[in-house]
Amino acid sequence: MQGKLPYRDLWDIKPIGIYIIYAIIHGFLGFSIFAIRVSTLIVVVCSAYVIWLILRKSNRSFALGAGLGFLILFSYFLNGLSGNTELFYLCLEVIGVWFLFYGKKKYRFLSPLVLGFAFIIKYNTAFDILGFYLLHLYLRRKHIFKNPKSFVGYVLFYAITILPFFISTIWIFGVGLGDSFLETHKILFSNYAKKVTFVEKIVSLQTYPVLATIILIQLGTFFLYLGKKKIPKVLLVSFLWTITSFFAATWTGYFFEHYYLPMIAPAILGSSFLFRFVNVKYFFRYKQKVAIVFVIFILIPLAVIVRKRVIKLSKVYPDIAKEIFVDIQNANLDPRPVFVAKGTHGIYSLFKQIPINRVIQPGNFTDKTNAKAMFIDNEEIKDKISKSKPGLILFCDLDVLQNPITSFDSSWNQELLVFYYQYIRKDYYYFKTYFPNCHVYLRNGTL
């Protein structure tokens, strides 16, 4: 929206899709936090609506309860992370599942298109997409065995998924961003993330007991139906989807909370069938009312408790970027351009500024291993800083000015840190903020 191009002017390892989404959001609603909140609210509610659509035929009594349950449980895990890529690609995956397995045949081609766009938002959706297509083939195995040539048609149908990636890649190379784009993929496939065992991945679920409980209910429900040798299609889809979304959440080895968000959709879909399995007369008669009562009197109080938890956590883990921004405003300063040497790049959004450096993951600059893996060019960064002369330089969890050069850890990007040390001591002074571990340096003459 400001005339800059991804991978050249602003470099990250995220695919092009999330840039397109934010261009649409800010293009229609303007540049504001409110625009992001409204947009993500819409996609989450849309996901809940499609969950209801998927369940309304096979598990009608609990379709509404599952949709409401999804909304409430999603809020449990969000904790304010309202703009993450997971929210957007999950919505597209839910829509893709609907068109693939339940929608009208004439609209089925939309499934690979929306799944293809989900892929260019985040590449780990490949786990889910592959799982959907393998299951789709399995469910149509009788038709394929009777007419083997039809397999080619299915393959061509699935190949539509590549279109969003193919078209966006042509554009990327067409505007001269090819080298940087390939650079991101070298990083993605260079094992830059820590390696963990499969057992460690399973154990990671214990950090999220509510999600783990729902998944256990789903697995138990699946095996109950398996014992009857009659598994509903939605339950089968959700079972495989939970497995693939788990691999998608943990494949990097980083077990961040928002990575697990997409697992909530299939877990809710599958666990809802436990209520359908129960065959008690009074319950069978009033099960729709029971489902709604369950949501209102169990899940909503849970959401209230969680809301209090979020407020409490926000006091323990405050928004560093925002607090520093407020401190700067209270001092009647406008230090732009700002530069984050190490810390949170959220401060760029608050100052409505594109980073002066090409790479926007500041934590990777000071660590030698990450700097190498992310192809950090020390000379390029030093040149950009020298030319831009930022009014503010932020260092979190590291204080290069107060500590002597000899104390720098060998794992740090020494060359860049020495530059910062010399540059800051020459022209900057320390600005005290609310955070003792976040060091803000203002350029002399800013006041």
| Concatenated DSSP letters of 251-263 | TTS---GGGGGGG
| CB atoms near residue 50 (< 10 Å) | 22
| CB atoms near residue 23 (< 10 Å) | 12
Residues shown for the chain: 447
Q: How high is the pLDDT of residue 315? A: 62
What is the spatial distance between Cα 94 and Cα 114, in angstroms, rounded to a whole number? Answer: 9
Q: How high is the pLDDT of residue 134? A: 96
Q: How high is the pLDDT of residue 245? A: 96
Is residue 337 reached through a cis peptide bond, with omega within 30 degrees of 0 on the bond before it? yes
Lookup result for tokens 């009608």? 60
Which residue intervals of 175-280 are DSSP H helices?
178-188, 198-203, 209-228, 233-250, 264-271, 273-277
What is the spatial distance between Cα 18 and Cα 133, in angstroms, rounded to a whole number? Answer: 24
Structural tokens at position 79: 């904790």
Across-strand partners of 394? 340, 440
How many Å separate Cα 298 from the centre of its chain? 28
Q: What is the pLDDT of residues 252-310, one digit of tens each?
A: 888 888 889 899 999 999 988 887 777 655 555 666 666 667 666 776 776 677 667 66
Q: What is the pLDDT of residues 23-72, one digit of tens each?
A: 999 999 988 888 888 998 899 999 999 999 998 877 777 788 888 888 87
Low-confidence ranges of the chain (pLDDT < 70): 76-82, 190-194, 279-292, 294-296, 299, 302-303, 306-307, 309-318, 399-408, 446-447
Residue 252 exposed, middle or buried by CB count within 10 Å (0-12, 13-18, 19+): middle
How many Å separate Cα 3 from the centre of its chain? 25
Q: How high is the pLDDT of residue 370? A: 75
Across-strand partners of 342? 395
Using the Cα atoms of residue 329, residue 333, residue 335 and residue 336 in order, give the sign of their dihedral: positive
Contact between 422 and 404 (Cβ < 8 Å)? no
The DSSP bridge pattern shows strands 438-443 and 428-431 to be antiparallel
What is the spatial distance between Cα 266 and Cα 245, in angstroms, rounded to a whole number? Answer: 9
What is the spatial distance between Cα 269 and Cα 222, in angstroms, rounded to a whole number? Answer: 11
What is the spatial distance between Cα 217 and Cα 211, in angstroms, rounded to a whole number? Answer: 10
pTM above threshold 0.85: no
What is the spatial distance between Cα 423 and Cα 387, in angstroms, rounded to a whole number? Answer: 12
| CB atoms near residue 223 (< 10 Å) | 11
Backbone angles phi, psi at 438, to 5 degrees: -115, 115
Using the Cα atoms of residue 62, residue 68, residue 69 and residue 74 in order, give the sign of their dihedral: positive
The residue type found at 281 is K
Structural tokens at position 117: 């766009």
Across-strand partners of 392? 338, 442
Contacts (Cβ under 8 Å, ≥6 apart) of 403:
none
